[in-house]
Structure 1
């Protein structure tokens, strides 16, 4: 199963009763393992979880800490980009040249690097004197 197919499949499990906007994400790591996540809404909107954050949490819970590639998919008119917070979360675990494939359920795809999605990201290097 491709990374995009894994994201599409997990998208169906999203808990989105308020927006009806289901998102799926899949991450691959250097070991070749794939971790998936879907958005989980809460009636108190800020308390929900993005699909990318769920996939990252699953990866970390399994003891891995490096994203090689990530795919994100939703039913929208154009390929779905990660939100700003998720871009920062992705950059915590991925090199700037790691690929982010953004897609729609009907097959539109756009691929950018993490560095292109979040230029000038805040990193651990900024905290070296802290």
Structure 2
């Protein structure tokens, strides 16, 4: 199972985590780098260690980003805030679209750096414009 870290934990793009469960023979030996390089013949995970020039910004920044979210807000608080904000945004945008006789399917960002005021401004200012564009 893999997860990208560039959105929720605010790490650089391309930062991800790969978790390989040990059961069922999934020990990573069937995973290979996309490009052959010096360590290609090595066993997993060492075969990924020598892939030419690597961009290490993600692996270096990710732990700091994860610590910052814990330090600034705490993971339980930030998860609850984002969940509540997403629920609020869904209601607010739906109300704004209904008020102008439209229906929208949007993907909104509800992160710790987004405020309810920003959602309100988006609903009040952008939704009528978007619905107008869709009507042509």
* TM bucket, shorter chain: under 0.3
The structure with the largest helix share of the pair is: 2
Q: TM-score, normalised by structure 2?
A: 0.23
Comparing both chains, which one has the higher relative contact order based on Cα–Cα distances under 8 Å and sequence gaps of 6 or more?
A: 1
Q: TM-score, normalised by structure 1?
A: 0.23
The structure with the largest strand share of the pair is: 1
Please tell me whether Structure 1 or Structure 2 has the larger radius of gyration of its CA atoms. Answer: 2
